[in-house]
Chains A and B, each alone.
Chain A
Amino acid sequence: AQKVTQAQTEISVVEKEDVTLDCVYETRDTTYYLFWYKQPPSGELVFLIRRNSFDEQNEISGRYSWNFQKSTSSFNFTITASQVVDSAVYFCALYAYSGAGSYQLTFGKGTKLSVIP
């Protein structure tokens, strides 16, 4: 079975602070993919990143960075110098073999980030 845990249900930060959103996953598969998605208050879904299990290099894209650590089964997401526009629900997801004959995409429950001006 596979599972994605986003332990932080809600986070509030003041604008310009850095914030890290945690994601811990469980899978028995050795080949898998991890994702982050953003859902702003307007409701649309935005794909942010995909990372495969063989690439542990951290990635940076502007103010966003991702820290993938296989040893702790974590794929954390950091926003540097947060802005009000970063306010959204962020979902972490795992694509791996489900053990029932197919691959499956499993989402965490999301972390709601509020950036206060």
Chain B
Amino acid sequence: DTAVSQTPKYLVTQMGNDKSIKCEQNLGHDTMYWYKQDSKKFLKIMFSYNNKELIINETVPNRFSPKSPDKAHLNLHINSLELGDSAVYFCASSQDLVEYGEQFFGPGTRLTVL
């Protein structure tokens, strides 16, 4: 069974569109995360979220919003896509938020904005 899954694996879309990436974890973890890895392989944390708290990296544009229908899911919604949003997006989960405990990552979603 896959611990952290993401869909789709590849997403190609036009500038200006709105898109979502789904993430699900079956580990029973309380905390989930979104990371962005750009074309130069630079990694950045975008959000961390548990039932009580959403922590947003202040450098993330407000076009990006996490949506959590339940504890096992944290979807990433992106409005008005821009060329610079092209990247690989990783979802992750951990048992708790405190100090970023051991994280398990999804396989990544490669987003290409044309």
Contacts and interface: CB of A to CB of B under 8 A. Distances in A.
Given A33-B100, A102-B55, A105-B100, A91 B43 contact: yes
B105 A44 contact: yes
29 contacts: A33-B99, A33-B100, A35-B100, A37-B43, A39-B41, A43-B108, A45-B90, A46-B105, A47-B103, A47-B105, A50-B100, A50-B101, A50-B102, A52-B99, A93-B43, A95-B99, A100-B58, A102-B55, A102-B58, A103-B55, A104-B45, A105-B100, A107-B42, A107-B44, A107-B45, A109-B40, A109-B41, A110-B41, A110-B43
Task: Specify the main secondary structure of chain A where it touches its partner.
Answer: strand
Nearest to A43: B108
A21 interface: no
B42 A109 contact: yes
Interface string A38-58: 010001111100101000000
Contact of A47 (B40, B42, B102): B102
Interface residues of A, number: 23
B107 A43 contact: yes
Interface in B86-105: 88, 90, 92, 99-105
Nearest to A110: B41
Interface of A: 33, 35, 37, 39, 43-47, 50, 52, 89, 91, 93, 95, 100, 102-105, 107, 109-110
Contact of A105 (B40, B45, B108): B45
Closest 5 CB pairs of A and B: A45-B105, A107-B43, A105-B45, A47-B103, A33-B99
Contacts of A110: 41, 43
